[in-house]
Structure 1
Amino acid sequence: MNAADLGLPVDVPSTALFTDQYELTMLQAALRGGTADRRSVFEVFTRRLPEGRRYGVVAGTGRVLDAVENFRFDAGVLGFLRERGIVDEPTLAWLAEYRFGGDIWGYPEGEVYFPGSPVLRVEGSFAECVLLETVILSILNHDSAIAAAASRMSAAAGDRRLIEMGARRTHELSAVAAARAAYVGGFSSTSDLAAGFRYGIPTVGTSAHAFTLLHDTERDAFRAQVDSLGRGTTLLVDTYDVAEAVRTAVEIAGPELGAVRIDSGDLLLVAHRVRQQLDELGARDTRIVVTSDLDEYAIASLAAAPVDAYGVGTQLVTGSGHPTCSMVYKLVARAESADPRAPLRAVAKKSLGGKMSVGGRKWAARRADADGVAEAEVVGTGPVPAELADRQLLVELVKGGDVVAREPLDAARERHMAARAGLPMSAVQLSRGEAVIPTEYV
């Protein structure tokens, strides 16, 4: 249950200034030049995956829809633009009436993508579409990077739970978005209460080393926590001596102790010792949670350890070395005039240095082999081949300015698990490699 379900107010300020100045100066010039109303098609895609990654994860789609709905130039925003002299009065008058009235299609949230995949397609007049470039890229680049890292960690963890706990390692608003993206990518809970409030993500948390250090003895700390939170709580056992702490924890909470957390040392070795000690003390159902700068490689290295859950912070909220997906927002087609009946003409950037793009309004489908395993991402601008008609990836998200594809966050999470399961097994290997399937243009 989230804030909206509870009937509580959720802050939805204007997103209109989450943009770059040149979006507005382009708008002014297009309005003056008579080209602002030309029907246009923009697409979001990436030319390559981050080095070593086998697939990408679409995340942030729901946040994009919120941002588009709240992209409004209210009096305060218009006053700022006027005071700074960023655009002229005719442009300010146009912005005062701005409401996106076009269509948006895209890969549904949680789906996987590959180089060239048209992750999002925005259609409308040039003027209304160009303004959305920066905010859309800001959301998709951040959230998809976090979700990709989360997915790799989820694959490495297998059936073991993953807890997102990176709020103190990033900007406070980024932390909320990161927790959401991590949930899509396979994490089961977050320590960030704002994320739980806004998006309904399960939240967890008990105590830090400071709580133990506050008390005269570790026993006093454990007693206070158990008395307050119950025997099912998680006790942090590596403030002083781990073996002594585990013994004390079971003495106080009994075999009903929920879990112990280990936050330092050789986690593989310590986890084995703690598991053996817990079993000998009769606490066979007490779980072991490990934290301490984990990433997907560390998680994979602990596969043989008797660990029940992982808490991940820094590496997750920074994309595990890849904090962006390098997605771009490019004009791929535009009408030959402002006449609504004017045909679309494919356009594309032709510059050197690997920044070329493919023009034309695109569809995308994922071809599978006889066993149902993905074998190619097929992208085209002409008719969709009959054999791919039921495997198309883009869905309608916004129609005539109205959002038509709201869904629970759990739906995106489940979709991702299914999409990842449909890839070749090598997709989840942590060794460096190219995209697990090729992108074919037809």
Structure 2
Amino acid sequence: MSSSTALLTDQYELTMLASALRDGTAHRQCAFEVFTRRLPHGRRYGVTGGTGRVLEAIENFRFGEDELAQLADNRVVDERTLEWLRDYRFSGQVDGYPEGELFFPGSPLLTVRGSFAEAVVLETVVLSILNHDSAIAGAAARMVSAANGRRIIEMGSRRTHEESAVSAARVAYLAGFTATSNLEAGRRYGIPTAGTAAHAFTLLHDSERKAFESQVAALGTGTTLLVDTYDITKGIELAVEVAGPELGAVRIDSGDVGVLARQAREQLDRLGATSTRIVVSGDLDEYAIAALRAEPVDGYGVGTSLVTGSGAPTAEMVYKLVEVEDRPVAKRSSHKESRGGRKAAVRRHKETGTAVEEVVFHPDSPPELGPHDRHLQVPLIRDGQRVDGLPTLEDDRQRLRHALVTLPWEGLKLSQGEQAIPTTFRQP
């Protein structure tokens, strides 16, 4: 993160900072908590995404001379606040759910402890990351479940902001997507990349045959040929003629892809290309993927619905002050109530491994643990430094895969319903 991203801080945060520095309350020790009051309509679970990016953002959160000049020139804050920001380094503590962990309404996803001044300026950058990445992760997990083990490729870069595209590809991989077409995500995070030609490549050439010949010459017979630019039946025939029965895959990007996939499978088998895979794309979401489960589809390419959270582009998380100098504080506004005091959480499981309850409690008053219960929050930052040995993206990917298996079977349904497991709040 460059220093300029410090200006992701909202002006109202700096207004509070300046006022607190003036009246002497800025250095009171506080705890802020990230949670959501509700899941997106009809969703039964949420997926924590973006924790790793939040830690990087906090570590590198700086106000450089350019940012300070911007604030001074526009008289956003006074000189005292500018001097405080010049030396800003977060020195507090952060605990939270690791990436890939499931969450529910009221789950304490992130707890930030430090002085009011240090913690309050992080609100916007923390929420912008967690709200976006968790929304995409939740949608992606539903799509992966619907795909039922078939390959699924993220290809939504053209449907969102350029930086959002990279982070969306990252959490799609976290959720179980096989690969991404976004090369920057591949470079930055080591995610497998994949992709094939678009219709423009076919239209560029004098004939579909010449386009296929060019692609096979460049990439080999294992490539994926897009066969529906003109007539799909003729396209498949040409694809096998050019690449031979060892053709890697054909892609269908339009029409009734279920019907077309069946026809394509029959035609490929008749032509001897029995190992050639069929990949479908074109406005797919989790419902369309589930509807194709019985069709001879080997893989899916998903774009717009993924990077927009499949109708839920935010996880609706909030960042609320819950404790001041060890004293619980809480908002009482109608329909926006919060619960005071720091919190931690335990997930209870049956002996079979099925999750049955999430218990939220004050860290000083933990519940008695059963043999299959599991603490959810883990230490993330201590004294401003990231904790050693935190899980990798691959570790988090496996965590989510396991967590989804622990849900009751009703919790994986795509239909509208209650949250997969209940949340119980214990007062200290």
Q: Name the TM tier (shorter chain).
A: over 0.9
Contact 2:98 2:377 in 1 (8 A): yes
User: What is the aligned partner in structure 1 of residue 300 from structure 2?
Assistant: 310
* Equivalence map 1:282-321=2 (5 Å): 282-321=272-311
**Which SS does the other structure have where 1:77 is aligned?**
helix
User: What is the aligned partner in structure 2 of residue 387 from structure 1?
Assistant: 369
User: What is the aligned partner in structure 1 of residue 270 from structure 2?
Assistant: 280
* Equivalence map 1:43-192=2 (5 Å): 43-192=33-182
Distance of 2:204 and 2:93 partners within structure 1: 57
Distance of 2:102 and 2:3 partners within structure 1: 30
Distance of 1:70 and 1:394 partners within structure 2: 23
* Fraction of identical pairs, as percent: 62
Residue 243 of structure 1, CA deviation: 0.9
The alignment status of 1:408 with 2:392, answered yes or no, reads yes
Contact 2:245 2:274 in 1 (8 A): yes
Distance of 2:404 and 2:12 partners within structure 1: 38
Which of these residues, 369, 376, 384, is aligned with residue 357 of structure 2? 376
User: What is the aligned partner in structure 2 of residue 213 from structure 1?
Assistant: 203
The alignment status of 1:345 with 2:327, answered yes or no, reads yes
Distance of 1:375 and 1:203 partners within structure 2: 37
Distance of 1:112 and 1:238 partners within structure 2: 39
User: What is the aligned partner in structure 2 of residue 204 from structure 1?
Assistant: 194
**Which SS does the other structure have where 2:108 is aligned?**
coil
Residue 181 of structure 1, CA deviation: 1.3
Unaligned 5+ residue runs, structure 1? 1-10, 336-343
The alignment status of 1:398 with 2:381, answered yes or no, reads yes
Task: Please say which of residues 68-77 and 14-23 is displaced more in the overlay.
Answer: 14-23
**Which SS does the other structure have where 1:330 is aligned?**
strand
**Residues 279/13 of structure 1: CA separation in 2 closer, same or farther (3 Å cut):** farther
What is the aligned length? 423
User: What is the aligned partner in structure 2 of residue 419 from structure 1?
Assistant: 403
Deviations 1:302-338 (A, max 9, x none): 0011011100000000000000011000001111xxx
Deviations 1:262-319 (A, max 9, x none): 0011111100010011111111111000001000000000001101110000000000
The alignment status of 1:361 with 2:303, answered yes or no, reads no
Distance of 1:137 and 1:205 partners within structure 2: 32
Contact 2:361 2:367 in 1 (8 A): no
Contact 2:92 2:113 in 1 (8 A): yes
Distance of 1:320 and 1:140 partners within structure 2: 17
**Residues 135/388 of structure 1: CA separation in 2 closer, same or farther (3 Å cut):** farther
Contact 2:48 2:137 in 1 (8 A): yes
Contact 1:365 1:388 in 2 (8 A): no
The alignment status of 1:231 with 2:231, answered yes or no, reads no
Residue 388 of structure 1, CA deviation: 5.1
**Which SS does the other structure have where 1:122 is aligned?**
strand
Distance of 1:185 and 1:64 partners within structure 2: 18
Distance of 1:232 and 1:188 partners within structure 2: 17
User: What is the aligned partner in structure 2 of residue 3 from structure 1?
Assistant: none
Residue 370 of structure 1, CA deviation: 3.2
User: What is the aligned partner in structure 1 of residue 244 from structure 2?
Assistant: 254
Which of these residues, 414, 418, 424, is aligned with residue 440 of structure 1? 424
Q: Which runs of 4+ in 1 moved over 6 A?
A: none
Contact 2:3 2:64 in 1 (8 A): no
Distance of 1:222 and 1:269 partners within structure 2: 24
Contact 1:365 1:377 in 2 (8 A): yes
The two structures, once aligned, show a CA RMSD in angstroms of 1.1
Distance of 1:13 and 1:238 partners within structure 2: 47
Distance of 2:353 and 2:251 partners within structure 1: 41
2:206 maps to amino acid: D
**Which SS does the other structure have where 1:434 is aligned?**
coil
1:384 maps to amino acid: P
Deviations 1:357-408 (A, max 9, x none): 1001111010112322111110011421222596110000000000115432
TM-score by length of 2: 0.97
Contact 2:3 2:63 in 1 (8 A): no
Contact 1:106 1:121 in 2 (8 A): yes
Residue 70 of structure 1, CA deviation: 1.4
**Which SS does the other structure have where 2:244 is aligned?**
helix
Residue 169 of structure 1, CA deviation: 0.4
Deviations 1:220-270 (A, max 9, x none): 110111011100000000001111111111111111100000001111110
Residue 120 of structure 1, CA deviation: 0.3
